[in-house]
Amino acid sequence: MGCLVTSRPSLPPWRSRVTTEGQAPPNGPPPRRRRGLWRALGFLVGGPIATFGVGNVVEGARTIESLAGRIKAESNRPSSVRLDDAGFFDLPETAARTNTDVHYLQVLLRCRRTQTARATKTYLLGGCGFLAFWIYAGLIAPGGASTAYILALIALAGLFFIGAFYNALVNWQVRTNRLGSFQEFLATSETWWPS
């Protein structure tokens, strides 16, 4: 038997009454049918695309294509850093090109110098940590470690040392105010330790 609920004027007429048998009111839309077992197991038959929906896959592909286009556009953008004839940073020209002042660029260079100094020290510490763990795992640990595990630790330590070296190079470039090459960095008489 059905029980009536008083209706609100803002609700459609077919939503204003509720029945206890689970049937729709007499002048409302027909009740939804459940598909049963086929609905529950449809994802097994349909494959991965049917599970997530073709629309979602196509939308994801379009998003990836859009992001790849933006990244490519950013990489083709001309550099805003200007160099003079000797290869040093031309701060007045760069400031004019980026609509800032020279003092602001000097502040940015100081901040970059402290960032690269901190990153170099952090990467060196991480590389030394992985190297110490490699020594422990390979020599001291009872039973030793597998070859793949030891090679993975060496690779991680190497990556940390490469990161430290790269940040030391960038710090040297900022410190000398010029884009020196890798060979110039190795041949410099100054210290490579970042400051």
Q: Rounded to the nearest 5°, which phi and psi values hold at 89?
A: -65, 130
Quickly state the pLDDT bin for 166 (edges 50, 70, 90): very high
Quickly state the pLDDT bin for 30 (edges 50, 70, 90): low
Do residues 7 and 16 touch, judged by C-beta distance below 8 A?
A: yes
For 122-129, which contacts have Cβ atoms below 8 Å and span 24 or more sequence positions?
123/160, 123/161, 123/163, 123/164, 123/167, 124/160, 124/161, 124/164, 126/160, 127/157, 127/158, 127/159, 127/160, 127/161, 127/163, 127/164, 128/157
Residue corresponding to tokens 């990161």: 163
Q: What percent of the chain is modeled with pLDDT above 90?
A: 15
pLDDT in tens, 111-120: 989 999 999 9
Residue 150 has pLDDT above 90, yes or no: no
CA dihedral 84, 87, 89, 95 (to 10 degrees): 30
Mean predicted lDDT score pLDDT of the chain: 75
Residue 128 has pLDDT above 90, yes or no: yes
pLDDT for the residue 2: 45
Q: In which element (H, E) is residue 152 found?
A: helix 147-176
Quickly state the pLDDT bin for 4 (edges 50, 70, 90): very low
Give the gyration radius of the chain's Cα atoms: 33
Distance between CA atoms of residues 66 and 112, nearest Å: 31
Q: What is the pTM of this model?
A: 0.55
| CA 53 vs CA 41, 48, 155: distances in Å | 15, 8, 41
Distance between CA atoms of residues 94 and 109, nearest Å: 12
Lowest mean pLDDT among 102-116, 133-147, 161-175: 133-147
More confident residue, 108 or 146: 108
Q: What percent of the chain is modeled with pLDDT above 70?
A: 66
Q: Two tokens at 89?
A: 């940073």
Quickly state the pLDDT bin for 85 (edges 50, 70, 90): confident
